[in-house]
Chains A and B, each alone.
Chain A
Amino acid sequence: MTSNKVYIKSVAHISAQQPLSDEWLSSPVVLQGDFVQACEPVYKDYISPMAARRMTPILKRAIVTAKAVLNDTDVDAIITGTGLGSAACSEKLINAMIEEGEAFSMPTQFMQSTHNTIGSLVAIDRKCHAYNATYSQDGISAECALLDAFVQIRLGKINNALVGIHDELPKSWLEVMKRSKIIGNLMQVPASETSISMLLDNNLVGSKCEIAGIEVAFNTSFDKMLSSFMSHYGLPQVDALMMGKNGWEDNDKVYDELLDKLSCVPALHYKHISGESCAASAFGVYASALCLEHGIVPATLQCDNINCDVPVKNILLANASGNNKSLILLRSCD
């Protein structure tokens, strides 16, 4: 079957780095402490204060990053990835239930508590009746959302898609992660919040890079995933390996088999820049897309000494989140 190709046309982020900017490439904000909140833009430049008042931070971030990548573009699909969804709203409901028992009534918080509140609000904001889906698969939620868009563009069902990946970290969940020692002890990068919107398109013109393949897995080694990847997309040329390492030994050791296999190519990382969150892997996609667009890999992304001077045209992204793993191959458009 001949398939359409899938390109990343534009990306915008609100994260631990300077919002809606690629400034981090040359001068990244150094993240310190256990938890770094997202660095917010001046919202009134993008949304009316009236509308903004009714939105939680994650909703504002989704609306603003969507506006930044789309401008006036109409899309055939709005697809969202989020690990925790509208966690701040859910937290308010749970706290009310603990304090007041089942007497509380919080309709607005409940209405905004479902994971697909984010994608729905973007659709309402843009008056977009197109396909709308949300995926929540912990740290590979981004990959699941990208996979849906990728599949539909390849099948020719849609021409383009807005893919938004958004996660916030409310107090109670931060506390749970701290008490379990994952944050503040095991993980060596800070926890953070990430919102990234991307426009995927079947048209090469003006694109940053091509998405050449996506593979998601459960209870499967990277080795086995590579064979499966090859059976779906052919033998990949890989010039650099972008890993989702976060400094937690149990999490990071699973990348060893990939490092062994790809020992000749530079190894890259990004979670020291984005921080770790369920949406962090989307930052890896964004960072890799920039590398391919500009044809350079900034030193801040490199975690070994292998020469990056040879043109990097194919980046294999690997990410692990508990029992889930993902591989994405991004290819330069040149």
Chain B
Amino acid sequence: MSEKIVITGSGIVSAIGNNRQQCLENLKNGFSGISEVRYLPTVHHEFPVGEVKLSNSQMCDLLGIGHSQVYSRTTLMGIMAVKEALAQAGASDTQNYMTLISGTTVGGMDVSEQLFSQGMSQDDCSNCIATHTCGASTNAIAAYFGDTFNSTITPSTACSSALNAIILGSDLIKAGLAQMVVAGGSESLTLFHLNGFKSLMILDTEPCKPFDEHRKGLNLGEGAAFVVLESETHAISRNAHILANISGYGNACDAFHQTASSPNGEGAFLAMSKALSEAHITTQDIDYINAHGTGTPNNDQSESAAIHRLFDDKVPPVSSTKSFTGHTTSASGSIETVISLLAMQEQFLPVNLGWSTPMKDGGIIPITESRKASLSNVMCNSFGFGGNDSSLILSKYTK
């Protein structure tokens, strides 16, 4: 049997807080971060969003970054979350042997859309090349940390990108090709995808209601989150405090439609099944599911069907914390992994805000009252366009 992959640090920036502590308090108190748009220069104030409550220049100030170099918002949020994760892992001074795996899809599109609209001078072109691509946004996060990272990899599978980053990071460690990996994702709101989602007519004009009969769509959010991964042996050898271990994960393709999920949730079912089998546990061992639960009619129906297929009538407590953060797209997988980790450490169940009416066709009934709970195994789902479905199981660490 291969070695345990453990988490020794985590960092998060989202609509409900700029760090772990703030996010935890808001989760426990049931305070959503979804509100009228304030930082994204859009005309669409009719769609509430889960923005990180900092301007780019405030983030630069917090990070001690001068204003001369152009940074995308995706990169700035990524730096904040990586910094917090490294600090918790006691790895801030690590040199030259960590891998950064950061999932994103829009990358530096926030900068590009601004530069394209102002006509692209030669300087603009250089800035655009330095910030536009997914890879460039990850490299800019790594560059902030000097010699800490010696390799960078950017998964880009739309909304499941960050969970797939954690999956790849775990595999690289298992294969002996990386010792310590900082894995997660970052994605800022952009006009590009706000208007794109608007075109698909799946944005709610009210705060989202995951798994509710009257749900009308999602609220976009933004943010970043990362976990520090290493083998159990490596963590013990450097006396690191182990927060949890990653006991299983799976990815599968729904292979149904570019943006819609199949009615029986085949991809989600396969992803969750793979994760369980890799963890060598059964459905009865799962104490909580942090659902993908976007609040769109299609996702919540399909995910409900997949969960019911797998868990039958013994479904553990489920909630979608997108009702707090909005759908943070490519970052959602790691944001919700960190939320699941916090729930496990603090032994409580995060609630599903906005829910009141059960779905007629027998969908998931999410938890709406926060309560203490003993959580040993937590499942976190993250699905993306293209039917890219991933599921991860975090387990309470025991030697």
Contact = CB atoms under 8 A, between A and B. Distances in A.
Interface of A: 1, 3, 78, 82-85, 90, 93-94, 97-98, 101-102, 104-107, 110-117, 119-121, 123-124, 126-138, 140-141, 144, 147-148, 151-152, 154-155, 157, 172, 175-177, 179-182, 216-220, 224, 228, 232, 322-324
A212 to B, nearest CB: 13
Given A148-B168, A323-B139, A120 B134 contact: no
B164 interface: yes
Given A102-B42, A176-B120, A128 B255 contact: yes
Contacts of B122: 179-181
B317 to A, nearest CB: 28
A218 B151 contact: yes
Given A133-B155, A138-B133, A180 B191 contact: no
Contacts of B138: 137
Contacts of B258: 111-112, 117, 120-121, 124
A77 B101 CA distance: 20
30 contacts: A1-B176, A93-B192, A93-B196, A98-B116, A98-B117, A104-B195, A105-B199, A111-B385, A115-B105, A115-B134, A116-B157, A119-B157, A121-B258, A124-B387, A126-B255, A128-B253, A130-B253, A132-B251, A132-B253, A134-B156, A136-B133, A137-B135, A137-B153, A144-B153, A151-B171, A151-B175, A155-B174, A180-B125, A218-B150, A219-B147
B135 A97 contact: no
Contacts of A113: 196
A121 B385 CA distance: 11
A106 B198 CA distance: 9
Given A123-B255, A180-B129, 16 more contacts: A90-B109, A105-B198, A107-B199, A110-B195, A110-B196, A114-B158, A119-B157, A120-B253, A120-B386, A121-B258, A127-B255, A129-B266, A133-B155, A147-B153, A176-B120, A218-B139
Interface string B252-295: 11111111000000110010000000000000000000000000
Contacts of B386: 114, 116-117, 119-121, 123, 132
A323 B144 CA distance: 13
Which one of B109, B117, B153 has the highest number of Cβ atoms from chain A below 10 Å of its Cβ? B153
Interface string B161-204: 00010001001101111000000000000011101111111000
B176 A130 contact: no
Contact of B388 (A3, A120, A151): A120
B5 interface: no
Which one of A104, A128, A137 has the highest number of Cβ atoms from chain B below 10 Å of its Cβ? A137
A107 B260 CA distance: 12
A83 B138 CA distance: 13
Contacts of A154: 175
B27 interface: no
Interface string B195-224: 111111100000000000000000000000
A3 B306 CA distance: 34
A256 B275 CA distance: 46
A116 B384 contact: yes
B78 to A, nearest CB: 14
Contacts of A216: 151-153
A83 B133 contact: yes
B346 interface: no
B135 A116 contact: no
A85 B129 CA distance: 15
Contacts of A322: 136, 139
A110 B203 CA distance: 14
A217 B252 contact: no
Given A138-B136, A154-B175, A220-B151, A133 B252 contact: no
Contacts of B257: 124
B118 to A, nearest CB: 10
Contacts of B155: 133-136
A141 B134 CA distance: 10
Contact of B133 (A84, A127, A219): A84
A151 B177 contact: yes
A155 to B, nearest CB: 6
Given A107-B199, A121-B258, A94 B113 contact: yes
A97 B270 contact: no
A111 B156 contact: no
